[in-house]
Amino acid sequence: MNPKQILLRKIRWLTWLFILGLVLSGVTALPLPAEVNWLARITGAQEVVQSPGSTAAPAWAQWLVKVQSALVDTNSKAPFLFYGTDWLAFGHFVIAIAFIGAVRDPVRNSWLFRFGIIACAMVIPYALIFGAIRGIPFWWRVIDCSFGIFGIIPLLLGQKWARKLEQFNAAAIG
């Protein structure tokens, strides 16, 4: 395999990794009540919060039980509100589909890498500002910010390597 083929393979692999991350993130937005019930069950959060003891339950357990309770309540009284997370998932799927263009032709579609980099950078202020407005604990907002931080890595590499691939193509033509 020549260096150009190796570079193209690396770009495609990273782009598929990013697409997979978008799809998985979208999928997790769909069954929220079931997911949070499962998470509370495997972590034992409810038992930790409800156990009589001299110390307060950890913040993560209190938050998880609070979210679980709100989701159960919302699901019983206003399940239509979850339609918003259905659309959130849809947005993730559509963006993932768009990145197939970068898999097919990373040079011609290098704008997708820039688009993704901008979107990942926007995750941080969005999570910090709107999370604060909605009363989301800071430590959870940091977790949300990590999606932008980890998502930007394959995109930065993809953009860099697409430029290098473009140079290979230009050298082959010239």
**Residue 171 pLDDT:** 87
Cα–Cα dist 57/117, whole Å: 38
Q: How many CB atoms lie within 10 A of CB 142?
A: 14
**With the CA atoms of 84, 70, 148 and 16 taken in that order, what torsion angle do they form, in degrees rounded to the nearest 10?**
-60
Q: Which residue has the tokens 């959870």?
A: 140
- Residues 110 and 163 sit within 8 Å (Cβ to Cβ): yes
pLDDT by residue for the chain (174 residues), tens digit each? 899 999 999 999 999 999 999 999 999 999 999 999 999 999 999 888 888 775 788 999 999 999 999 999 999 999 999 999 999 999 999 999 999 999 999 999 999 999 999 999 999 999 999 999 999 999 999 999 999 999 999 999 999 999 999 998 888 887
> In angstroms, what CA-CA distances link 35 with 7, 28, 148, 157?
38, 8, 22, 32
φ, ψ for residue 55, nearest 5 deg: -110, 155
**Residue 51 pLDDT:** 81
Side-chain half-sphere of 162: how many Cα atoms within 13 Å?
24
**Residue 41 pLDDT:** 94
Cα–Cα dist 31/22, whole Å: 16
**Residue 54 pLDDT:** 59
